[in-house]
Amino acid sequence: MAAATLGIVEALSFLKARSEVLARVRAARVTPHMEFLPLEQATGRVLAEPAFADRDYPPEPRSMRDGFAVRAADLPGTFTIVGEVRAGQSSDCRVEPGEAVEIMTGASVPEGADTVVMVEHTTVAGDRVDVPKALEMGANVNPQGRDAVAGALILRPGIRLGYAEIALLASIGQAEVAVYKRPRVAILATGDELVEVETKPEPHQIRNSNTWSLAAQVIRAGGEAVVLPVAPDELEITKELIANGLECDVLLLSGGVSAGKYDLVETALHSFGAEMYFDRVLIQPGQPCVFGQAQGTFFFGLPGNPASTMVCFEIFARAALELISGVVEPMLAITGAQLKSPFRQKTGLTRFLPARLDEEGLLTPIGWSGSGDIAALTRANAYLVSDPEKGEYAAGDWIGVMAR
């Protein structure tokens, strides 16, 4: 993990580069600040304190089916129906030998009963119910404390709160939740060719889309986007804007990281004593991707082409942002799918190419004109992720896939 001097960092494979990001950010041991939020505002945030069960769950044995609560020792047989209990109703009856209580899903199993017979497996005539088959004790009953016993740890810090976690917190009565504050992520696009979104560009200019795609990705990853003015291809102004960006928790720079005469980002970063952990990764799109640290802030120099910027954020910068957000285990969801059509590539690079995963689970690469083709990305719902050592895939072969 030794840092290298500017310009001589060895190109890394995708997996080695991602491991480098994770290792460096973990080693920095950044401790995010904590805040308390109402439960309804906590979705998407990272839990900062452990959550414990406030009572047994369920607090009483509960029926898992509509049917009749009986004693398993009496089965099979014909029973006298002595009562009914609904979900949300306290049961005040007791089941004796030869008796049954009609019960609904979610209702508390009455005292004396230990089994629930599903209603479709019974025959009812007046106040009598016939059960022709035996059942094991406890059938169709969720026993007290099966989900959690009082005081049990049910959520650990460092997980992002989705709808299931919010439901669990609500069930244990946590109206207020301790979460980590969102990290502030500075976004700095560079290049004389960039103009603002509302500006009509000249033929030699383009609108600044990277800032806004990165802002959207930062927000989706749980950060707060801090948008800086576009840096022209002038070293001193670039240095001034980088200084502002280094005051945030993470700095994302877009463009200016290639080897051209006016690609000034690495030179500007070097003036802040930056350590470069890598500046080239064997991927497409996004080979000239920079990762390092300056004045205690991690930064990523992302290529200027839109697809390169988006891909490099998702596979590298997002992991750093999540760790700084307090997430314990950042996950990159690369799974597999079968190709609907053949795919060929030159070996040597891990490719993240726009593709569409259909309802049958088949993956089709989407034709694109290169990493500047934003329209192709909007037609994709996934990225094809290729093996750098495999040159040809036939239709039906399995290949990596990552959600867009």
8 is a domain residue: no
Task: Verify that 191 and 270 share a domain, yes or no.
Answer: yes
Task: Verify that 229 and 176 share a domain, yes or no.
Answer: no
Which long-range CB contacts under 8 A does 81-89 form with residues at least 24 apart? 81/124, 81/127, 81/128, 81/129, 83/110, 85/110
What type of residue is 16? K
- The pLDDT value recorded for residue 93 is 87
3 is a domain residue: no
246 is a domain residue: yes
The position carrying tokens 């750098």 is: 388
Q: CA–CA separation, 250 vs 318, rounded Å? A: 10
CA–CA distances in Å: residue 284 to residues 14, 103, 266, 302? 10, 61, 21, 13
Task: Verify that 209 and 309 share a domain, yes or no.
Answer: yes
Using one digit for the tens of pLDDT, what is the confidence trace for 252-266?
999 876 655 446 888
Of the candidates 272, 211, 263, the residue with the CA atom closest to the CA atom of residue 235? 263
Q: CA–CA separation, 59 vs 174, rounded Å? A: 17
115 phi and psi, to 5 degrees?
-150, 150
Task: Verify that 281 and 269 share a domain, yes or no.
Answer: yes
Cβ atoms of 357 and 381 within 8 Å: the answer is yes
309 is a domain residue: yes
What type of residue is 281? V
Crossing angle (nearest 10°) for helices 14-28 and 318-325:
20
Q: CA–CA separation, 36 vs 179, rounded Å? A: 6
Q: CA–CA separation, 286 vs 307, rounded Å? A: 8
Domain boundary residue among 291, 325, 359?
Answer: 325
Task: Verify that 276 and 373 share a domain, yes or no.
Answer: no
The runs of H, that is alpha helices, within 91-220 are 163-171, 210-220
Q: Is 123 exposed, middle or buried (0-12, 13-18, 19+ CB in 10 A)?
A: exposed
Q: CA–CA separation, 51 vs 77, rounded Å? A: 46
Domain boundary residue among 157, 180, 203?
Answer: 180
Q: Is 362 exposed, middle or buried (0-12, 13-18, 19+ CB in 10 A)?
A: middle
Q: Which residues pair with 344 in a beta bridge?
A: 392
Complete DSSP assignment for 261-299: TT--HHHHHHTTTPEEEES-BSEES-SS-EEEEETTEEE
What type of residue is 288? P
Task: Verify that 67 and 186 share a domain, yes or no.
Answer: no
The CATH code of the domain that includes 153 is 3.90.105.10
The position carrying tokens 């960039």 is: 194
The position carrying tokens 């290529």 is: 303
Q: CA–CA separation, 122 vs 131, rounded Å? A: 5
The pLDDT tens digits along the chain (404 residues) read 445 444 456 899 999 999 999 999 999 999 899 999 999 999 999 999 999 999 999 999 999 999 999 999 999 999 999 999 999 988 788 999 999 999 999 999 999 999 999 999 999 999 999 999 999 999 999 999 999 999 999 999 999 999 999 999 999 999 999 999 999 999 999 988 998 999 999 999 999 999 999 999 999 999 999 999 999 989 999 999 999 999 999 999 998 766 554 468 888 999 999 999 999 999 999 999 999 999 999 999 999 899 999 999 999 999 999 999 999 999 999 999 999 999 999 999 999 999 999 999 999 999 999 999 999 999 999 999 999 999 999 999 999 999 99
Residue 385 CB neighbours (<10 A): 23
Task: Verify that 75 and 205 share a domain, yes or no.
Answer: no
Return the structure tokens found at 399: 């290949």
The CATH code of the domain that includes 378 is 2.40.340.10
pTM for the model stands at 0.88
Task: Verify that 274 and 225 share a domain, yes or no.
Answer: yes
Q: Which residues pair with 240 in a beta bridge?
A: none
169 is a domain residue: yes
Could you tell me what percent of the chain has a pLDDT over 70? Answer: 96
What domain range includes position 170?
A: 35-56+147-180
Domain boundary residue among 112, 142, 172?
Answer: 142
Task: Verify that 315 and 202 share a domain, yes or no.
Answer: yes
Using one digit for the tens of pLDDT, what is the confidence trace for 76-95?
999 999 999 999 988 788 99
Q: CA–CA separation, 337 vs 155, rounded Å? A: 32
- The pLDDT value recorded for residue 1 is 47
The CATH code of the domain that includes 236 is 3.40.980.10
What type of residue is 131? V
The CATH code of the domain that includes 105 is 2.170.190.11
Return the structure tokens found at 272: 């802040």
Q: CA–CA separation, 115 vs 165, rounded Å? A: 31
Cβ atoms of 317 and 367 within 8 Å: the answer is no
Q: CA–CA separation, 112 vs 93, rounded Å? A: 9
380 is a domain residue: yes
- The pLDDT value recorded for residue 36 is 98
Task: Verify that 135 and 29 share a domain, yes or no.
Answer: no
Q: CA–CA separation, 177 vs 169, rounded Å? A: 8
Residues in the chain: 404
Structural domain total, the chain: 4
Task: Verify that 231 and 319 share a domain, yes or no.
Answer: yes
